[in-house]
Structure 1
Amino acid sequence: MDDSVNELIRVRLARVGRLVTIALIILTVLQVGLFLVLFAFVGAQAAADWLPELVLAILFTLLLGAIALYAVGQAQAAVQRDVSRAVGQELRELHSANDRAQSLQRMASTLSATLSFERVVEQSLDVCSLALEEMGIPRQSLVGAVFLYERGMLRPIARRRFLGNDSNQVIAGKEGVVGAALSQAEPVVTNNPPEDPELKVYEAFRECLTAVCVPLRAGFQLFGAMVIGADTAVHFERDHIDLFRSVGDQAVIALQNAQLYQRLEAEKQRLIEADEEARKELARDLHDGPTQSIAAIAMRMGFARTMIDQDPARAKEELLKVEALAKRTSAEIRGMLFTLRPLVLEAQGLGPAIDALLRRHSESDGIEMRLMGAENGSLLSKRAQVVAFAIVEEALNNARKYSRATLIEVRLWQTDGLFVAAVRDNGVGFDTYDINRDYSTRGSLGMVNMRERAERIDGSLRVESSPESGTTVTLVVPLDKHGADAEATAAEPAAEEPQPVDAAR
């Protein structure tokens, strides 16, 4: 207890003791004074008759004063004892709260310093051991695990005092304390872990007398659960449950960060692989197309040069073949440049760009291709037009390579605030279930790319096909987010934003 508090209590109660003493003295003086007045007015004989009563009154007053002073002394001791106990309890609670705050701070520091989810969940189990320590239970009594979903089952990824084959056991999270916590999205306590239908599969929890399960969730998404147990019967207070919940929230943040990092790394690797594949494909196209054609032009020019003097007519015929080959090579190179950077898309928009793409493929493949609703391409913002063009181009390439179609139609239209683009062919079709199930199947990676592109503009992609009935790929984009009007509205505040003024001028 603080010495200043103790001194304050002593001073205040000492003042009360002094007041009691003064009151006793005043009462005694009054009684003696009253006796002297009687002695002066009624005579010595009458005063002598009152003397025993006076002595008794004075003795009684002194007795009451002694009792009052004793009571003040006892009250002082009791107050000091109660205050000491209350202050000690408050100090212990403050110390515990400080330890919790420091542990959560260390956990937050770990969270900000690393993307390793394993380190964060290990730290979370350390923080939970504080709750047991506060109740006088050693940290070694903690039995805990953090479970995460893996293929629909909960697997322990961080463990404390797990025995034998416990680390390899998985549970469904449908029954017992774990099932209750996950279904209620709230921490749940059990005082009989050995009989819990799911926890009892772990030998470590069969030794526990108390356990609490904390769901790991963010919004409506469940990631798993954290189970904290002790081999001693304990009663978890609300503060302890709140601590466990806070630790679980931190663990979920770490998990989300780790998953986001993994997705970013996967996306980065996918982009690198796509770029490398595009480079390889361009190299193959250049080698198999323009490079071979240029070599053939050089050979034919050499042959024509030798034939000018010997057979001018044949040399002229050869030059005509060289001219045709050069034109064809030029068209191939323009097609490659169009694929790499469709300038018509930037200059004229989505409709003319798709029209140019269809005409180029129709001439090279001999497939009838049609475009309907080209004017609706201008409904999209510039960025959305680039994405939509890439999706239409990918769908056309799939149809050209695999459908064996004789007719391909591209249609653009608007309905209920949505922009819709559909690519339909009359080819052989395919089983969409098999394609989506196996990414290694022909053409499925292209569909994955199209869906990812559609998600970038908040759109959706639907593929409809069946064997011998053709294929339709439909892209739907919300115009309120990615329409040309939305783009213009978003640009207006930027245009009206006041320019900063240099105060030094």
Structure 2
Amino acid sequence: MTKNIATKIKKEFRRLNWIIISIFAGILILQGLLFFLVFGVILTDVQTGTWIPALILSSIALLAAVVITYFLNDQFAKTVSDSTVQIVDTEVHQLRAANHRAKSLQSMASTLRATLSFERVVEEALNVCSLGIEEMGVPAHSLVGAVFLFDGNTLKAVATRRFTNIDFDKVIPGKSGIVGKALTEAEIAVTDNPKQDPELRTFVAFQSCLTAACIPLRFGFQIFGAIVIGSDTAVKFDSAQFDLFSGVADQAVIALQNAQLYQNLEAEKQRIIEADEEARKELARDLHDGPTQSIAAIAMRINFIRSLLARDPQQALGELEKVEELAKQTSKDIRGMLFTLRPLVLETHGLSAAVETVLNRIRESDGLNLELVGGENGRLLNEAAQSVVFSIVEEALGNARKYSKAK
């Protein structure tokens, strides 16, 4: 494209040269006619030999002016052509770089939307930031980089580029240097002397860098960490690179939030599964230690009663009464277990009635004097919240009854 522009400019200037030559040729002819008219027709007393040399000299001067003008115009055409080509090349390069950055961001956004993995998110963010510096002519092998995420109160590298083995386990506080500045001010920070940075100098990978930039990964008051990119070549960052870094950080933060939410959901899901499994095991233990043993005892007593009916009916009647009491207690225990699993009264009468039912059971079984205060506030909660509160209250009452030794 630039070659076509240069050819077009030169063609137009050549046309201008021909126009200039034509104008000077016209002036030369007009000059000859004027000399002839003045000195040959009007001033006839002037000898021809006196004005011919003047005509020749003026014609030579005019021709010299034509040559000089042609030469200057040709040089000017070359200068304009070169300058225009240079400007166009610069603009095209900037447009291509901007287009490449836009495609990189689009590709990154697509990748981040398709993953909920912390590792994929930070790796992609580091790659796009590195590409932004490579566009400035910095070779890829000169770049050093890392994505630091908070692990407690310290920053740990979770994705790296050209890090040494001894750097992988190092952590930084993120309180000073360009990392501290970037996290505090929520803006990109740059240093031209990374090896003197109070935190970056702890990493061998940054010792040979001449330039480093820190991009904060922050959303509102939530700080995830920072991306640090260093180069063995001195680099002067401009607004285009800063815009790219900011775009990468924004996309990465959104993806990190999604990944964090997903991991929290997975952890909550696993906790619910484990709690459900524990409840099943506890129910199995309770059934084995309670109703199962009681039913087995009832079966044994019935066999014993059958043998007593013939020889001692009175004792058999007494044993039947014991079996009846044992059956009632077993039925009561089963109802208690069913109530614990799915308290129907909670669904029909609300939290206050369900807690009161638990208190009544404890009063009957242990003779403890318990009283519910503030139960009317249970209606302020939705069904899901009431179910959670009921489980907590029931567990707390069970632990209190078990360990307090109250009477």
Q: TM-score, normalised by structure 2?
A: 0.88
The 8 Å contact of residues 291 and 333 in structure 2, kept in 1 or not, is answered as yes
Aligned to 1:201: 202
User: Quick check: 182-191 or 126-135, which moved more?
Assistant: 126-135
Pair 1:357 & 2:358 matched: yes
Deviation at 1:254, TM superposition (A): 4.3
Larger Rg: 2
Secondary structure, aligned partner of 2:172? coil
CA offsets 1:151-174 (integer angstroms, 9 cap, x no match): 322222333333352223222222
Q: Report the counterpart of residue 211 of structure 1 in structure 2.
A: 212
Give the CA deviation at 1:367. Answer: 1.5
Contact kept in structure 2, 1:358 and 1:369, CA below 8 Å: yes
Bigger mean CA deviation after superposition, 366-375 or 82-91: 366-375
1: CA distance, partners of 2:330 / 2:44? 152
Conservation of the 8 A alpha-carbon contact between 1:144 and 1:159: yes
Secondary structure of the equivalent of 2:158?
strand
Contact 1:181 1:188 in 2 (8 A): yes
Change in CA separation of 1:273 and 1:234 when aligned onto 2, cut-off 3 Å: same
| 1:328 aligned onto 2:364 | no
Which runs of no fewer than 5 residues in structure 1 stay unpaired? 407-505
Contact 1:124 1:251 (8 Å CA) reproduced:
yes
Amino acid at match of 2:300: M
2:38 matched to 1:38?
A: yes
The residue identity in structure 1 corresponding to 2:190 is: V
Q: 5 Å matches for 1:94-493? A: 94-163=95-164, 165-405=166-406
The Cα shift of 1:109 comes to 4.2
How many angstroms does 1:277 deviate by?
Answer: 0.8
Counterparts of 1:95 and 1:60 in 2: how far apart (Å)?
Answer: 52
Change (3 A) 1:168 1:349: closer
Q: Secondary structure in 1 aligned to 2:147?
A: strand
Q: Distance in 2 between matches of 1:7 and 1:210?
A: 42
CA distance in 1, matches of 2:2, 2:309: 117
Question: Would you say the 8 A contact 2:305–2:316 is kept in 1?
Answer: yes
More displaced 10-residue stretch of structure 1: 9-18 or 319-328: 9-18
Moved more, 46-55 or 8-17: 46-55
Report if aligned partners of 1:143, 1:229 keep a CA contact under 8 Å in 2: yes
CA change 1:318–1:163 in 2 (3 A) is closer
Correspondence for 1:21: 21
1:168 counterpart letter in structure 2 = D
Displacement of 1:85: 0.8
Instruction: For 1:385, give the aligned amino acid.
Output: Q
CA contact (8 A) 1:144 1:228 kept: yes
- Relative to its length, the structure with more strand (as a share) is 1
Contact 1:35 1:47 in 2 (8 A): no
SS at match of 1:140: helix
Mark the CA change 1:3 to 1:184 in structure 2 (over 3 Å): closer, same or farther: same
CA distance in 2, matches of 1:295, 1:130: 75
Q: 1:376 to 1:159 in 2, by over 3 A?
A: closer
Aligned counterparts of 2:197 and 2:87: Cα–Cα separation in 1: 39
CA displacement 1:226-252 (0-9 Å, x = unmatched)? 222222322222222333333334443
Q: 1:381/1:116 Cα in 2 relative to 1: closer, same or farther (>3 Å)? A: closer
How far does residue 356 in structure 1 lie from its aligned partner after superposition? 1.8
1:278-320 superposed Cα distances (whole Å, 9 cap, x missing partner): 1111111111111122222222223333333433333332222
Give the counterpart letter for 2:297 in structure 1.
Answer: A
Between 1:53-62 and 1:290-299, the stretch displaced more is: 53-62
1:296 match: secondary structure: helix
Task: Determine the structure 2 residue equivalent to 1:88.
Answer: 89
- Once the two structures are superposed, what CA deviation does each residue of 1:63-104 show, in whole Å capped at 9, x if it has no partner? 333333333322221111011111212222233334333443
Distance 1:286 1:260, change over 3 A: same
Aligned pair count reads 406
Per the TM alignment, residue 3 of structure 1 is displaced from its structure 2 partner at its CA by 4.2
Alpha-carbon distance in structure 1 between the residues aligned to 2:131 and 2:352: 66
Instruction: Give the letter aligned to residue 397 of structure 1.
Output: G
Instruction: Report the alpha carbon displacement of residue 342 of structure 1 after superposing the two structures with TM.
Output: 1.4
Question: 2:64 is matched with which residue?
Answer: 63
Identify if the C-alpha distance between structure 1 residues 207 and 373 changes in structure 2 by more than 3 Å, giving closer, same or farther: closer
Q: Which residue of 2 aligns with 1:5?
A: 5
Residues 175 and 375 of structure 1: CA distance in aligned 2, closer, same or farther (over 3 Å): closer
TM-score by length of 1: 0.72
Moved more, 382-391 or 282-291: 382-391
1:20: Cα distance to partner? Answer: 2.3
Cα distance in structure 1, aligned partners of 2:47 and 2:159: 95
- Aligned mates of 1:344, 1:197 — CA distance in 2: 64
Q: Which runs of 5 or more residues in structure 2 are unaligned? A: none
Counterpart Cα distance in 1 of 2:129 and 2:57? 69
* AA partner of residue 45 (structure 2): Q
Cα distance in structure 1, aligned partners of 2:121 and 2:201:
26
Q: Which amino acid aligns with 2:136?
A: M
Report the aligned-residue RMSD.
2.7
Q: 1:187 and 1:47, CA in 2 relative to 1: closer, same or farther beyond 3 A? A: farther
Q: Counterpart of 1:256 in 2: which secondary structure?
A: helix
> Partners in 2 of 1:379 and 1:151 — Cα distance?
37
